[in-house]
Amino acid sequence: MPRKPSDGVAKVRQAIDDRLSQIAEEIKGLENERQQLQGARDALGGGKAKRGPGRPRKSTSSPSRANGAQPRRRKRRGGTRADHAVKVIKSSPGIGASDVAKKLKIKPNYLYRVLGDLEKEGRVKKDGRKYFPA
């Protein structure tokens, strides 16, 4: 006896309903865990005060900047991108810009600007699409 098409649809619908109820239970459990974590954080004094609609944001400027002082800059480790690019070009003369970018793990569009500056400074030479140390 052939199956009715509505039997298959009913089975699929039932499977979807079952899965949705499982997901709803998981959501309730996760919400309970989140509330417990929030309570634990508040008990430890780590809770943030929530900013309400009429409450202004705190100022993010540091006191030293209020005096007109320059912000602290982090120190570079191991030189600049330009120095790294020159080092890669010296180790592989005739390398293309996209290959240099891959080795430095940076985007090529940024590297093209760096390489242009290096070329103006005379640190590298460009022949076609290839770069050579000066």
Is 22 among the domain residues?
yes
Report the distance separating Cα 86 and Cα 118, nearest Å.
8
Is 56 among the domain residues?
no
Is 101 among the domain residues?
yes
Tens-digit pLDDT profile for residues 17-65:
999 999 999 999 999 999 999 888 888 876 555 555 666 666 555 555 5
Is 106 among the domain residues?
yes
pLDDT at site 126: 92
Helix (H) or strand (E) holding 70: none
Q: Which CATH number fits the domain that encloses residue 112?
A: 1.10.10.10
Amino acid at 55: R
Q: How many domains does the chain have?
A: 2
pLDDT exceeds 70 at position 133 = yes
Report the distance separating Cα 108 and Cα 50, nearest Å.
42
Residue-range definition of the domain harbouring residue 40: 7-44
